[in-house]
Structure 1
């Protein structure tokens, strides 16, 4: 049954949207599990509080009983008149004095305690029910992932055709060209049953034909030349296709004369592709072979049907780039040349490693990720030429920060800022690899998140593609994330790409003017939720926007993660990280050192105040505070003054 390619494309887009929605469901499920874990933790704390309340009540009853027994105030049923119960349908009877004592001791506190304990039990039961439902939903989500994965794999197979259909026209073209140029060449194809995406196959036919013609024109010698070199009269071109990981690899090899690097460099200088000085300093064969892939570069002096027409292998590279493919060259003089093409299995869905860099998410395709490591800052070394490197698997690996390769011209909004949990003395590194064996690059990111399936969206329209960016994807939460072009990042780091364009959220020739801020933001840092809420109401009534942090560590993570504020009010005594340590860390950070910090504490001693100002505080206030005085102090601090209710004491 024949199906139009357009219909398959539409189905492919629908499968991609299904994957996006599945990822969104999984992220929501993960957040629900986090909320449930927090709820269960709070229920456990509530149960502990209820048990303590019950113990306290029992203790109160015991103390009451002891006090009554010592003072002779035991209750007696004979002292209780029954007239109050007259007229009722039934009289209230007490079997003994003990029952009456229990009734008299049912104080409002006891009734409230008993009611609270009952509610705690009900909340615990409700939490158990929610946990059961979440577990059931997670099971359904796992089944959905299995089904969508099988659907995706089945649909991918339905789009694929054998590699034999790509090369079925090559034998005849090979025979005709061999006869035309007096060469004897046989074609050997391996991996004919290797499946290739139909969209990729459509773009692959011309490059395969061009590479075969290139082997006939430049690689395979004439029968006389081959016999003189001790070879057989008949040359051989071997085309091999196979799957490697999540890539399709196709190699086109010949047993001809090979590529002479000196001849290539000489021709490149003549065509002004490189300078004579660059040619002399070009010792790496990979750099020389890449010259052959430049647009319009050809080593032939005369024009014939197969070569010298000014097209060169650049057209092969261009066609492969459109389908996210790469090509590398390996050659030995006198033995032959091998062209290796690497292609993705499918163009629509891929696996990627999501990371955070410069407070934004970016995705690295997994077929270009070699490793993920964490190293200490002291492990980054500098070589003689000033370049950074790290030791990795016994080799010196070039090291760059991603923000140095991708320059952003944008303004961070609160909705698209991603926080980081960076360790002070450790850095996260993603090791990228190119299609060529042995070319690696260590790229520093702020945080490595997770590996997930993404739907690749190509960048289309009049806006040029930014250097280092291959496309974009939509995550499960609806955010658009850039996909890194690993080969271009490596070329940027090694200097092969000289011109670097700026990649903004919206590309503009000039920076977007920053709108004037009308609402100031205050960060309240205190371990007491009561103090935080009171301060929040105070500043909110005065027209400020308020953010809260429960201790110094929480505040530090929020500030390092991109929280934008104008003023910080911080307590001194807090768990995990106190106010002095937070202030000290902020002063050491170039981005946070300019942020004014005021201490609000119960410590009114002069030594604490002096220490705060030595560490860089702009204000010092003691609890309990006066609202008007605190707000006036905040205004003065924002104006650049140093104030405090203890300064003039």
Structure 2
């Protein structure tokens, strides 16, 4: 088949296929590959680049990847632009395109998150120097995943992300060509940036990407290191406009303020300020304030008189100004002050906050982002640009109506895009049909659909095609390059179709929007919010779980209420109660499953932590992850992250030895840290194990005596390892010889213990000196419902978590011994365990009088200790819903909450760790 026939076949597939199955994808793959291999000069180079992406995507669909079907459909649509001659004169309805874009964005967000995780895994695998096979597989996967992600970004016109991954691809190719290792740090920077970009898109599909210049600089610099003659960073081009980049002679056509400044001075900061450790914290906090102000700003555009929106933006800039002034950062202080003054005018008057004022605030936000980059060691903005913005904002603060006047920037933008150099050309241009194409570009720029740079590139490309004898409309070039979407083009064409004079267009650019346009804009913003999944607030999920818990209680009350009456003969009622019980259990399991997530994302973050901390400590450490797919309550995952970070940092800094020390004792210079998760009974066990030096029992004991944690005359040889090791959880305890920026202050392990105990969990330590250490964290599957044993003491009932119970039994007289006065002990399988009545420990919590039955002992364990709790009766075992105690209940470490039993009674939940601490039991030997 000829090139034209193959192209016609692809266009036909785009026109008739709403979905693409595997068979159709295989046919599309053949046509696209034939078109690429034909080398036909009539096929534009940029179109051939899209065909490469089409082949890759069709291959994925043909191999059974259902998610890629919509991406393939979108790629096919881009091929129709050049074939539909009358598409600009007869635009189709944009609503269908918008709906398709929404679906495609939702699919992209889901696929991109997975792709970033796969890319990160491949990047980290590159640091496996002893296994060439792993490195080769990781390199192939990395190239494939980045290429696919770059193509999908291009489909959705995410050109900044496309440019970043294009640079990453170039870096990989340069490194492989030079026969050198692929640099990891620049790729990690790209991953971090794109994750931030995806987070913004998930909230608002029209969000602008975060600052990316520093990422491109890192990628370009890495290319320079690995290549003898790399292209300057300024010449690197995103894939979507790679073939359309203007030549040096064309670059002079850029709008004046976008052209490079000659002898321009950049804003810089002193070395003392750049080295101030509080500056990064300030930047992080200030960026959060700016994000909040931007959200308020968009809400303010919908309601110009919203005093709450103005106040939120004002507070953000006021806070930034105060902290920047304290740190002596004058450029940020001055800019924040003038914006604060401007906003104060609207707080103290009835003036309307227009889109022109919003533009000033947004421009100030962008300027601050560039100043933040300079504070963090990056390149600052031009000083003249900052000064001009401050002066303009100050002028508008004096006269808010001045923001509605036509500014020099608006005039230059529109005139430059229309090819007009003098104001006298305005009338002639408005009468010249040849200028309408450039007017289309001016419309798209004024509406924010593209930048002046992108317009200049497209005009240069159009001129180059015209010199080759190919006539293409500007709209066709823009869509072909992926600069704007078909929907954006159709809207601009409708505006252009009204033949608005150029002067009116300038007025429209700065004219405050009407209420109708604001409503339309608000509605479009709502439509632009995409999500890969349906997001439900944790508060709603918690409410659902609570209500299901109430249902469980009510169902148990109904069942127990019928047991007290003679209803066994009513078969229909018995069947209905059984059905109610089954439905209730199913509903309970379903509601709990909504909050169940895996450890995958939490464990994946540890790869980066191990890499960064090990690099700083000068050690070589490999992290192995096991059981990342283990599911647990989302609340548990959120709360376990900080303890894990502390444990991992300690394992690297204190546990694993430096390479030279490991070699001296006959160990592999590269240490290993194993992070694992597994289900064990009704709990989750997370273990962190290293093959380092282990815990020094004698050193810990000596330090504990020094701090008064162990009596000086105590013989530590009689204490168990567990009792000694638990000393490291005491506040301020540290055996480190020196404090580093990683660890050594004695606060991390205390945080670990408190956080884990707050989740009703426990942590145990196993270690052999010289061979390594293992920390085991045992947590409940959920923080809302627990498996428990119900016991009675007198008339009061208590709930004991089964997680802490070892066994229950009735002692014989021969097993019980009186030692040290009234403190009895019980012989349990040859070990003497202290025995205490539960109601004595819980004195003051409920009525302790009532019928006393034969004593039953419940052996509980925690913190390396065991104790037997004496109760009058074991009622049974059941799942109970945890209820928080009210504010009137006095705090006590022996009680962790309450529960409503099936008969309607309220029972207190016993905190075993608190009970063990209260009894001051002797540690189990």
Report the 3-state secondary structure (helix = DSSP H, G, I; strand = E; otherwise coil) of the residue aligned with 1:169: helix
- Change beyond 3 A, Cα 1:348–1:496: farther
Say yes or no: does 1:23 pair with 2:550: no
1:393 is displaced (CA, Å) by: 3.8
Q: Distance in 1 between matches of 2:598 and 2:552?
A: 26
What residue number does 2:750 align with?
Answer: 314
Q: Distance in 1 between matches of 2:857 and 2:573?
A: 35
Say yes or no: does 1:467 pair with 2:904: no
Do the aligned residues in 1 keep the contact of 2:794 with 2:852 (CA within 8 Å)? no
- Change beyond 3 A, Cα 1:459–1:290: farther
Q: Distance in 2 between matches of 1:270 and 1:375?
A: 41
Structure (1 or 2) with the greater strand fraction = 1
What residue number does 1:403 align with?
Answer: 839
Q: Which has the larger radius of gyration?
A: 1
Q: Distance in 1 between matches of 2:845 and 2:587?
A: 40
1:378 is displaced (CA, Å) by: 5.5
1:284-312 per-residue CA deviation (whole Å, 9 max, x = no partner) reads 21111111111222221322111123413
Q: 2:915 aligns with which of 467, 489, 513?
A: 489
Q: Distance in 1 between matches of 2:717 and 2:794?
A: 36
Q: Distance in 2 between matches of 1:462 and 1:304?
A: 45
Say yes or no: does 1:10 pair with 2:543: yes
Q: Distance in 2 between matches of 1:480 and 1:384?
A: 37
Do the aligned residues in 2 keep the contact of 1:406 with 1:468 (CA within 8 Å)? yes
1:136-193 per-residue CA deviation (whole Å, 9 max, x = no partner) reads 3232222222222122222222211111111121111111111111111010010011
Do the aligned residues in 2 keep the contact of 1:237 with 1:254 (CA within 8 Å)? yes
- Change beyond 3 A, Cα 1:143–1:392: farther
Q: Distance in 2 between matches of 1:492 and 1:178?
A: 41
What residue number does 1:257 align with?
Answer: 693
1:454 is displaced (CA, Å) by: 0.8
Q: 1:194 aligns with which of 630, 650, 660?
A: 630
Q: Distance in 2 between matches of 1:462 and 1:311?
A: 32
* Pairing 1:277-288 to 2, within 5 Å after superposition: 277-278=713-714, 280=716, 283-288=719-724
Do the aligned residues in 1 keep the contact of 2:858 with 2:869 (CA within 8 Å)? yes
1:446 is displaced (CA, Å) by: 1.2
1:271 is displaced (CA, Å) by: 3.2
What residue number does 1:449 align with?
Answer: 875
What are structure 2's unaligned runs of at least 5 residues?
1-533
Q: 2:806 aligns with which of 351, 370, 378?
A: 370
1:383 is displaced (CA, Å) by: 4.4
- Change beyond 3 A, Cα 1:234–1:385: farther
Report the 3-state secondary structure (helix = DSSP H, G, I; strand = E; otherwise coil) of the residue aligned with 1:362: strand
1:330 is displaced (CA, Å) by: 1.0
Q: Distance in 1 between matches of 2:849 and 2:919?
A: 25
What are structure 1's unaligned runs of at least 5 residues?
37-129, 498-649
Q: Distance in 1 between matches of 2:789 and 2:745?
A: 43
What residue number does 1:146 align with?
Answer: 582
Q: 2:644 aligns with which of 208, 211, 228?
A: 208
Say yes or no: does 1:238 pair with 2:666: no
Q: Distance in 2 between matches of 1:463 and 1:393?
A: 39
- Change beyond 3 A, Cα 1:395–1:320: same
1:496 is displaced (CA, Å) by: 7.3
What residue number does 1:248 align with?
Answer: 684
TM-score, scaled to structure 2 = 0.40
Do the aligned residues in 1 keep the contact of 2:655 with 2:694 (CA within 8 Å)? yes
Do the aligned residues in 1 keep the contact of 2:793 with 2:852 (CA within 8 Å)? no
TM-score, scaled to structure 1 = 0.57
1:494 is displaced (CA, Å) by: 3.8
1:495-526 per-residue CA deviation (whole Å, 9 max, x = no partner) reads 479xxxxxxxxxxxxxxxxxxxxxxxxxxxxx
1:365 is displaced (CA, Å) by: 1.0
* Pairing 1:44-83 to 2, within 5 Å after superposition: none
1:615-639 per-residue CA deviation (whole Å, 9 max, x = no partner) reads xxxxxxxxxxxxxxxxxxxxxxxxx
Report the 3-state secondary structure (helix = DSSP H, G, I; strand = E; otherwise coil) of the residue aligned with 2:792: strand
Q: Distance in 2 between matches of 1:259 and 1:385?
A: 37
Q: Distance in 2 between matches of 1:409 and 1:392?
A: 29
1:131 is displaced (CA, Å) by: 4.6
Q: Distance in 2 between matches of 1:257 and 1:364?
A: 38
Q: Distance in 1 between matches of 2:720 and 2:642?
A: 29
1:376 is displaced (CA, Å) by: 3.8
1:363 is displaced (CA, Å) by: 0.9
Q: Distance in 1 between matches of 2:568 and 2:610?
A: 67
Report the 3-state secondary structure (helix = DSSP H, G, I; strand = E; otherwise coil) of the residue aligned with 2:807: strand
Structure (1 or 2) with the greater helix fraction = 2
What residue number does 1:542 align with?
Answer: none
